Structures are given as structure tokens and as C-alpha cells.
Amino acid sequence: MNMNAEDRLTKRRIARYALPDASALARNKVNWPVRAQDCALVIHDMQNFWLGFYEDCSILLANVARLRALCKQYGMPVVYTQAEKPKALAERALGLEMWGPGMAAGHLSDDDRAICSALAPAEDDYVVRKPRYSGFFKTDLDDILQRTNRKHILLTGVFGHHGVLLTAADAYMRNIKVSLVVDAVADYSLRDHEITLDYVAEVCGALTTTALAEQELIASEQDERRA
């Protein structure tokens, strides 16, 4: 085991930084409005252990919760990804060398691995347990989106330049539109956060904000009712 990798995972503390705002949307190459009839909300790895790295994640939590409440109100699918505990350390493969035991670390409890109580999944929500960064890798996320007739995801969660970014890229390669919510995602630092936004906007998706996504969802629902 790479002990230095284990230390990086267990000792990291993330200082508070201002989340990006609507000015980040100038990076967009595409305009993909968020419609309640087309979208699913994906909440990526909002587990107690990861959130415990942050000195303060209250704004992140509030923005994700705000979107979740509206999506639930409109009957949209809400899908959580959750980094799983492997049955054996060997399943970690290269991840063992890169990060150490991860969710299999002996000091972690089931509560550490659980999704935070502020965003606890409801009975009709979906939870996909994933072994790697991407929410699509060896999970049924793609199947869920197909069954619910969704070709667009509203993507939130942590960490931006890890699983969030690779989930966005993976979605693009499956012809699934991605709207990354710039102020409902968090990262190790503002620099890492900006790297994520640059990559997604340039290569595989669109950027939005909590407020804009909310406006577009409400407008699309109103249009649907008038139709």
C-alpha cells in the first residue's frame, strides 16, 4: 500500500473558498436549457467522509438541497452516486496505489460512507454505488436514465476535478447532455474548481448556476402545463 497516498486522503483539509457564480457561464460553447421533462438530477458522492474534508460546505449543501427540492416537486428522477466500500482491497486496483484503501479504510464507519443527512435519499430516489471516479463505471446509472427517458443530467456534488468531471465526460460519450451546476459543485480549491469548469465547458458539457437552473426548470414546467 502507498502510505503517502493514504495520508493524503485522511489528512486533507479544504479551506473555504467562494464558489463560482454566473460569470463562469461565459465559458459555454453550447446552450442546453434545463427542462424538467428531459433532465435528471445527479448528486455525486455527497458522503459524510468527503464532506468532512471541508471547513465549511454549507453553501454547497444549501444549493444542492434547493435543486433537489425543486426536482422532487416536479417528479424528476434524483440519482445519487456513492463511493462504495470494496469487498476486498484488491478491488481497489490502481486506486490502492493512488489513494490507499479509500472507503475500505479501517477507521471509517458506515456513517462515514453514508450520504449526508441533509440530502438523505427518499424511497423513490436512486442510489448507485460506484467503484471508480465516474458515476457510470460499473453502475446502472445509464440504465436508470434510459428507463426514465432522460438524456440530460443536472450534475452536482464533489469533488469537481475527480468524479464529477469524469462523470460529465462519460455522459458526453454516451450522448447524454450535462449541465454542471457551478455553485453546487465543490473541489479541493478554487483553482481545481476552475480547471473543472474550463474542461467541461470546452470539451463535454454546459455550465449553469443553481439560480439559472431553477429558473429554467420552473419555466419549462409552466410551458408544459400550458401546452
- Looking at the annotation, which residues are catalytic? 45
Beta sheet of 206-208, edge-to-edge order? 126-130, 78-83, 39-44, 152-157, 177-185, 206-208
Q: Across the strands, what pairs with 130?
A: 83
Number of H helices, E strands in the chain: 9, 6
Give the single-character DSSP code of 67.
Answer: H
152 phi, psi to nearest 5 deg? -150, 130
Query: Which residues have CB under 8 Å from 48's CB, separation 6+?
Result: 111, 112, 113, 114, 115, 116
CA dist., res. 177 & res. 154, Å (int): 9
Long-range contacts of 141-145 (CB under 8 A, 24+ apart): 141/42, 141/79, 141/81, 142/174, 142/176, 144/40, 144/77, 144/79, 145/40, 145/77, 145/79, 145/176
**The Cα angle at residue 183 between residues 104 and 115, in degrees rounded to 5:** 30
